[in-house]
């Protein structure tokens, strides 16, 4: 089992819809969780951080964390074609919690169709 798992997609949604991206992790003691967006040919860009159970909203983005079920998700409301990118989930697992090391998933490719 991979430490951080994501469905590679592509996930295709129509413009204006809600895109839901999911990530599961294996280390129950994981401390902090991040979503990065990566456009083709560009570097990963941090878009959300979440540290506590529940929801965290930032504009059209909502991160959801459920430590008991060991998953973290990213919702994108009112999806736009400009949201088309690969979304990487990253987790700071317990054994690396004091080093800052993140474990990245393989990424989910999102396609928003006009």
Partner 1 sequence: DARVTQTPRHKVTEMGQEVTMRCQPILGHNTVFWYRQTMMQGLELLAYFRNRAPLDDSGMPKDRFSAEMPDATLATLKIQPSEPRDSAVYFCASGFVGLAGYNEQFFGPGTRLTVL
User: What residues make contact with partner 1 under the rule CB under 8 A?
Assistant: 31-32, 34, 36, 42-46, 49, 51, 88, 90, 92, 97-102, 104, 106-107
> Cβ 46 to partner 1, closest distance in Å?
6
Half-sphere CA count of 86, side-chain side, radius 13 A: 17
Q: Would you say 8 or 78 has its CB closer to partner 1?
A: 8
Q: Would you say 59 or 100 has its CB closer to partner 1?
A: 100
CA distance linking residue 4 with residue 26, whole number of Å? 7
> Cβ 77 to partner 1, closest distance in Å?
23
> Cβ 66 to partner 1, closest distance in Å?
20
Are 16 and 112 in contact, with CB atoms under 8 Å apart?
Answer: no
Cis, peptide link before residue 10, omega less than 30° from 0 = yes
Are 110 and 15 in contact, with CB atoms under 8 Å apart?
Answer: no
Q: Would you say 51 or 66 has its CB closer to partner 1?
A: 51
């Amino acid at each position: 089992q991979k430490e951080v798992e994501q469905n590679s997609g592509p996930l295709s949604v129509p413009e204006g819809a809600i895109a839901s991206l999911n990530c599961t992790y294996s280390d129950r003691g994981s401390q902090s969780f991040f979503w990065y967006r990566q456009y083709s040919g560009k570097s990963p860009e941090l878009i959300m951080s979440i540290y506590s159970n529940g929801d965290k909203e930032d504009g059209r983005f909502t991160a959801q964390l459920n430590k008991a079920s060991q998953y973290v998700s990213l919702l994108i409301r009112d999806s736009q074609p400009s949201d088309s990118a690969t979304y990487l989930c990253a987790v700071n697992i317990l054994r690396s919690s004091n080093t800052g090391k993140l474990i990245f998933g393989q990424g989910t490719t999102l396609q928003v169709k006009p």
